[in-house]
A and B are shown apart, each in its own frame.
Chain A
Amino acid sequence: MTETTEAKPRKLIPISQPISVLPSDIARLYTHLHPIIILTVYYFCFPYLVADPVSVLFKALAPLAHLQITYCVVCLPQSSGGSTPSPTSSKGPTTRKRVQFAQSAKSKPTSVGSRITPAIISLLLCLSLSAPLLTVILILFGAPLTTHFWHNLLCATHISLLGVLPLFYVHGVNARMWREISGACLPFDEVWGGLVGAVVGAWLGAVPIPLDWDREWQKWPVTIVTGTYLGWFVFRFAGEYFLRGKRIEFD
């Protein structure tokens, strides 16, 4: 293969725009209240989590899903729905028109009832698609496979409820959007920041495990879950206020 014929990968030009919270007062209030509620509940559950991770993580799934659905319904704009083909891919690289996905719902506020259904669909998608995928990723990144399978699955489910569920809600199942998400090209906002934070937090959560402090909380997956929640909390705010609109630079 000579240099001239070498197929250079074309650059993926991201078209996604940062998400804004719905313009109502209650949305603006709850989007700040929501992470604080979740972290407070987590703080009080922590001793029980250390004592029996599997049952506590399992029992926490339903409340967490409820809170996240509430958050989506109250605060977030709904996806425009459907898998609209990307205009850039159909019209070739010359067209660089930025299309606003997901922003269409902003203009026409819908009733709460009509927003619950997509939230529940998002929940189902997140449980059936992203949780198993994240379990595999956790294992590839070193989670104990044979001894802690349920721990891993529950840990991945928590990560996806926190990070991925709102993404499904605001971006739907648009193929182009999910290509951008899988390439981490999204601009920072509180939804994308939440997922990045959850992943980075889970990654950093592995750091204290090998230390010889002999604490009960060092066991798998307590530190990972804690890292997830803390990272989600921090990056949610950072994504909204400090990094908004910026994208992760890979080179």
Chain B
Amino acid sequence: MRLPGPIADSKLLEFQVCDVQNRRIDSPKPLRGQVLNTVQNQVAGKHGGWDARGPHFNRNIEKIQTYAWEITKSGQHYLTLSTGNARKNYMPSLVSSHKMIKVIKHASVMSPRSLSLLLLTLANLLIPISIFIFATGFFPYKPFIPGRATFQDPNNGGQLASAPFDKVIFMVVDALRSDFVYSPESGFKFTQALIRSGAAMPFTAHATSPTITMPRVKAITTGSIPSFLDVILNFAESDTTSNLASQDTWLAQLKDKQGGKLVMYGDDTWLKLFPDTFLRVDGTSSFFVSALITLGINPDHEGSPHTRSCLTRSTNSPSPHMVPKQSEMDGIVEQIYRAIETEEHLHSTLFVLCGDHGMNDAGNHGGSAEGETSPALVFMSPKLQTISQGSESPVALPEATFSYYNTVEQSDIAPTLAGLLGFPIPLNNLGVFIPDLLGFWEKGLLLQNARQILNIVRGAFPRLSFSEAETLDDCTLAMSAGETLSCLWFDAASLVDVPSHIDTAAALHALTRFSKHAQDVMSSTASNYNLSRLGIGIGLAALATVAGTATVSTALLETQATGLWISLVFTAYGIMMFATSYVEEEQHFWYWVSSSWLGWLLLKRRNAATLPGSLELWFAASLLVLLRIVRAWNQTGQKHAGEPDIARTFLPAHNILLWLLVLVTYLDVIQRLSRRAVPWASRHLATAASLALGIAALGFKVAFTKADAPELLEGLGYLCVRPFEQASLVAQARAIFTGIAIMMVLTSFPAVYQRVRGGRETKGRGQLKPIGKSAH
């Protein structure tokens, strides 16, 4: 609320005289009068210029005066009488005290300054509280069972006699989408040959969102379904609490096995997740793994089982580097598979090739688009030929999806490995043994799986006993998810309790039904939301919105068209959040709003000025042009991901322009640095330091590009300067960041020191500006 200077300390009331004795004052805008010193003056007409006096005027005025004084005494000192033309023409003769008082009464309940301050404070306090309460209800509680599974545990269903494999080679390829292996365009020719022969069993392993590496690794190794909280942990990779060493994973189970050893090659994410788990490691930092890395493959066979993690990070799925990369990966697969075939001690080795997640057409992942959630999963071993006849390969892309062959859950990998290698299923597993691989056993495996899942289900539904008492005749009639599970379990248990029934199709079906249903229930996070907390959180947020809106409403009304614009934008933005596709395509909203806003300002200017205002016209037009370029710069969002844009299509094709832009940017930064940085030193010194730092950074950029995306330097080889090319990228990065840090310290500390010592407040100025000027 705007307060005029002299009376800024008092409370201001505003109201509008809309109706004076039933005559509507016709005006397109709310009338606005001036703020007078006292109500008394206004009403008595000393300053008002009310020239005519009606017969009842004095009597009415007295009444109003009395009432106004009451208001004044009660602490509201000033009134803005919104009168305008009406004052002169109607007010004196026609004003009725009754109406006037009504208006004043109405005005007195309008929000004074203190109330709006209170509301603003309330809104700001409520926002964090509501977010906190909502978050505690939204991030679901995951029943987590500590410890390791053992065969002695009665809940685990006992040990099985035979495990067909005793070693496993587990090869993870980053973002290995299903079609990268299975499609006719794929470079995985050897793998496809194995699929045809039956020695490889292909699946599409559905990865739940969030499709980023760490939660996926967690799902693959523990068999549980990580929540969105793990996203945060994915970025905090250095955080040692996020490792999986303390959890029950198939890696831990393998290590606990008699003589179990693990070896790892590749991305050091795995080392951080599983510290002290591997006997031998050869890790590579994933940050500096630029697009195409080649891992020297030299399968050595002393330790068993092996874990192998290979990583490839590719930028664009239709990129020309894709197929050679796939062929290279296929070469590794062939090498390992040949070793399994030929080496005596590897005959009982299972070889698993899988992707941690897929990617969309732009090479991004993290969301829940079809391509992102569909990584490939291939089990390979000569032994598989006994249970599999082979499948057609390559196959064309199934209609609009990436679901090749049978789709399984990524969490199914853990129990399947447990069964195939003969170790207990990890305690927190929600996966179900992949039925296609059941051919190795006659009995019991599914029961073991089901018992283990039941153990977790009990944790999630502690109030249910999973006994006969709760059972209904028809499980579809059950009221809650827990009751349905309880019922399904009893159905299955009653069948398998009879020894002669254990292998019947009915028993297998019942067990699968229970396990699958449990998987669905436990993986749908909705069952774990705390609805009352969500409700309270939303309620508080709504309160905060109301309070905030009430605070700004006066200001918005005052600013008329601009206020209307802002209100419209916020309302539209709020509505937009209900359309999931608009959440993914939010940038379109802001592009749309900002270009319209510029257009509006332009029209407004044209509307206001008599002069053609050509400068403003060009200014606004160039802003619109720049905005249009920004729009075309990157294809963001899901819908148009991968379509041509400036940054990924135009600039790589015109790489001279790209490097010119880079050069200009660096030169600008160097020039600014040399003018402003290290204010106490001589300008020559500062220029030399900035120049050195800038050139080093530019050299690092070129060297990094050469390693990361060599195609951007095509025909520009002369940009690569030998010293930069030869030095290690990590060392260069460290040197440059150290240089930047030193420059920052040298620049800002003296400035802060000077200001603290001087104790002078330079109003509205940045720290560096006045000092930088004085150094000139």
Chain A residues at the B interface, C-beta cutoff of 8 Å: 9-12, 89, 139-142, 145-146, 179, 182-185, 203, 206-207, 209-213, 246, 248-251
Q: Which of B582, B611, B625 contacts A9 (CB 8 A)?
A: B611
A38–B454 Cα distance when bound, in Å, is 67
How far does the alpha carbon of A11 sit from the alpha carbon of B608 in the complex, in Å? 5
Tell me the complex Cα distance, A109–B229, Å.
Answer: 77
Binds A, one of B129-137, B598-606, B653-661: B598-606
Q: Are B611 and A140 in contact, CB atoms less than 8 angstroms apart?
A: no
Contact A12 B608 (CB under 8 A): yes
Indicate if the CB atoms of A212 and B639 lie closer than 8 Å.
yes
Q: Name B's interface SS.
A: helix
Given A140-B595, A211-B579, check contact A9 B609 (CB 8 Å).
yes
Q: Are B607 and A184 in contact (CB under 8 A)?
A: yes
Instruction: Give every chain A residue within 8 A of B637 (Cβ-Cβ).
Output: 210
Answer whether A184 and B608 are a contact pair too, CB < 8 Å, given A140-B595, A141-B595. no
CA distance A12 to B612 in the complex (A): 10
Whole-angstrom CA separation of A81 from B568 in the bound complex? 41
Q: Among residues 581 to 616 in chain B, which have CB atoms less than 8 Å away from a CB atom of chain A?
A: 581-582, 584-585, 588-589, 591-592, 595-596, 599-600, 603-613
A-B contacts, 29 listed (Cβ < 8 Å):
A9-B610, A11-B608, A11-B610, A12-B610, A140-B621, A141-B599, A141-B624, A142-B591, A142-B628, A145-B632, A179-B612, A185-B607, A207-B592, A210-B637, A211-B581, A212-B581, A212-B584, A213-B581, A246-B28, A249-B28, A249-B560, A249-B561, A250-B600, A250-B608, A251-B559, A251-B560, A251-B561, A251-B604, A251-B608
Q: Is the CB of A250 within 8 A of B592?
A: no
Q: Are B579 and A184 in contact (CB under 8 A)?
A: no
Inter-chain pairs besides A12-B610, A140-B625, A206-B592, 20 sampled, C-beta below 8 Å: A140-B624, A141-B595, A141-B596, A142-B591, A142-B628, A142-B631, A145-B632, A203-B596, A206-B588, A210-B581, A210-B582, A210-B637, A211-B579, A212-B581, A213-B581, A250-B600, A250-B604, A250-B607, A250-B608, A251-B608
Contacts of B533-588 to chain A: CB distance below 8 A: 559-562, 579-582, 584-585, 588
Contacts A141-B596, A212-B639, A250-B561 known; A183 to B607 CB distance under 8 Å? yes
Which residues in B have their C-beta under 8 angstroms from that of A10? 609-611
Instruction: Tell me which of A146, A182, A210, A248 has the highest count of chain B C-beta atoms within 10 A of its own C-beta.
Output: A210
CB <8 Å contact, B625 and A251: no
CB distance from A82 to the nearest CB of B (A): 21
Q: Is the CB of A183 within 8 A of B585?
A: no
In the complex, chain B residues whose CB is within 8 Å of the CB of A213: 581
Report the Cα distance A95→B428, complex, angstroms.
86
List residues of chain B with CB under 8 Å of any chain A CB: 28-29, 559-562, 579-582, 584-585, 588-589, 591-592, 595-596, 599-600, 603-613, 621, 624-625, 627-628, 631-632, 637-639, 644
Is B608 a contact of A9 with CB atoms below 8 Å?
A: yes
* Chain B contacts for A251, CB-based, 8 A: 559-562, 604, 608
Q: Which residues of A contact B607 (CB under 8 A)?
A: 12, 183-185, 248, 250
Rounded to whole Å, the gap between the CB of B443 and the closest CB of chain A is 47
Q: Which of B29, B605, B606, B625 has the most CB of A within 10 A?
A: B606
Q: How far is the CA of A12 from the CA of B627 in the complex (A)?
A: 29
Q: Which residue of B lies closest to A89 (CB)?
A: B610
Residues in A neighbouring B606, C-beta threshold 8 A: 12, 179, 182-184
Alpha-carbon separation in the docked complex, A248 to B582 (Å): 30
* Chain A residues whose C-beta falls within 8 Å of the C-beta of B580 in the assembled complex: 212
How far is the CB of A132 from the nearest CB of chain B, in Å?
A: 15
Tell me, in angstroms, the Cα distance from A12 to B589 when the chains sit together. 33
B contact residues around A183 at 8 Å (CB): 603, 606-608
| 4 pairs of A and B residues whose beta carbons are closest in the complex | A9-B609, A212-B581, A183-B606, A210-B585
| Separation of A223 and B628 alpha carbons in the complex (Å) | 20
For B585, the closest partner residue in chain A by CB is: A210
Does A139 lie within 8 Å of B628, measured CB to CB?
yes
A213 CA to B580 CA in the complex, in Å? 11
Q: Which of A183, A206, A209 gathers most chain B CB within 10 Å?
A: A183
Determine how close the nearest CB of chain A comes to the CB of B101; give it in whole angstroms. Answer: 32
Q: How far is the CB of A217 from chain B (nearest CB, A)?
A: 15
**Which chain B residue shows the least CB distance to A93?**
B610
Q: What's the nearest-Cβ distance from chain A to residue B162, in Å?
A: 49
- Shortest CB–CB separation between residue A186 and chain B, in angstroms? 10
- State the Cβ distance, B589 to closest chain A Cβ, in Å: 8
Task: Give the CA-CA distance A203 to B592 in the complex, in Å.
Answer: 9
Q: Closest A-chain residue to B600, C-beta based? A: A250
Complex Cα–Cα for A237 and B543 (A):
40
Contacts of A250 in B (CB 8 A): 561, 600, 603-604, 607-608
How far in angstroms is the closest Cβ of chain B from A241?
Answer: 18
Given the known interface contacts A139-B628, A140-B624, A249-B28, the answer about A210 and B588 at a Cβ–Cβ threshold of 8 Å is: yes
CB distance from B165 to the nearest CB of A (A): 44
B373 to chain A, nearest CB (A): 16
Write out the residue numbers on chain A whose beta carbons fall within 8 Å of the beta carbon of B608. 9, 11-12, 183, 250-251
How long is the Cα–Cα vector from A245 to B478 in the complex, in angstroms? 67
Knowing A142-B591, A182-B606, A250-B604, the reply to whether A9 touches B28 (Cβ < 8 A) is no
A47 to chain B: closest CB distance in Å?
24
Residue of A nearest to B621 (CB): A140
CA distance A142 to B629 in the complex (A): 9
Q: Report the nearest A residue to B643, measured CB to CB.
A: A147
Closest to A218 in B: B639
CB proximity of B644 to chain A, nearest CB, Å: 8
Complex-state Cα separation, A9 to B632, whole angstroms: 35
CA distance A203 to B600 in the complex (A): 12
Report the minimum CB–CB distance from A244 to chain B (whole Å). 13
With both beta carbons as reference points, the residue of chain B lying nearest to A13 in the complex is identified as B610
How far is it, in angstroms, between the C-alpha of A209 and the C-alpha of B591 when the chains are bound? 13
What is the minimal beta-carbon distance from B372 to any residue of chain A, in angstroms? 15
CB distance from B637 to the nearest CB of A (A): 7
Q: Pick the contact of B609 from A12, A89, A212, A248 — CB < 8 Å?
A: A12
User: How far apart sit A9 and B625, CA to CA, in the bound complex (Å)?
Assistant: 25
CB-based nearest A residue for B640: A210
Docked complex Cα distance between A11 and B611 (Å): 9
Is B561 within 8 A of A140, CB to CB?
no
Q: CA separation between A92 and B460, bound complex, in Å?
A: 83
Contacts of B603 in A (CB 8 A): 183-184, 250
Q: Which residues of B contact A89 (CB under 8 A)?
A: 610
Q: How far is the CA of A12 from the CA of B604 in the complex (A)?
A: 11
Q: Which residues of B contact A206 (CB under 8 A)?
A: 588, 592
B628 partner residues in chain A, CB cutoff 8 A: 139-140, 142
Chain A's closest residue to B595 (CB) is A141
Q: Given A142-B595, A184-B606, A251-B604, A210–B611 Cβ distance below 8 Å?
A: no
Nearest-neighbor residue (CB-CB) of A182 within chain B = B606
Q: How far is the CB of B230 from chain A (nearest CB, A)?
A: 26
Question: A146–B592 Cα gap in the complex (Å)?
Answer: 19
Q: Which residues of A contact B595 (CB under 8 A)?
A: 140-142
Complex Cα spacing A246 to B28, Å: 9
User: Shortest distance in angstroms between A117's beta carbon and chain B's nearest beta carbon?
Assistant: 31
Instruction: Compute how far the CA of A249 lies from the CA of B621 in the bound complex, rounded to whole angstroms.
Output: 22
Task: Compute how far the CA of A185 lies from the CA of B609 in the bound complex, rounded to whole angstroms.
Answer: 11
* Complex: A205 Cα to B392 Cα, angstroms: 47
Report the Cα distance A212→B589, complex, angstroms: 14
C-alpha gap A249/B600 in the complex (Å):
11
Q: Which residue of B lies closest to A139 (CB)?
A: B628
Most buried by A among B589, B608, B621, B632: B608
Contact A211/B582 with A184-B603, A250-B603 known, Cβ cut-off 8 Å? yes
In whole angstroms, how far apart are the Cα atoms of A119 and B559 in the complex? 42
Interface-centre pick from A139, A141, A206 (highest chain B CB count, 10 A):
A141
The distance in angstroms between the C-alpha atoms of A141 and B591, with both chains bound, is: 8
Query: What is the CA–CA distance of A251 and B558 in the complex, to the nearest angstrom?
Result: 10
Give the residue among B581, B589, B609, B612 with the most A Cβ atoms within 10 A: B609
Q: Assess the B588–A209 pair: CB atoms within 8 A.
A: yes
Give min CB distance, B450 to chain A, whole Å.
Answer: 38
- Least CB distance from B104 to A in Å reads 29
Tell me the bound Cα distance from A163 to B644 in angstroms: 34
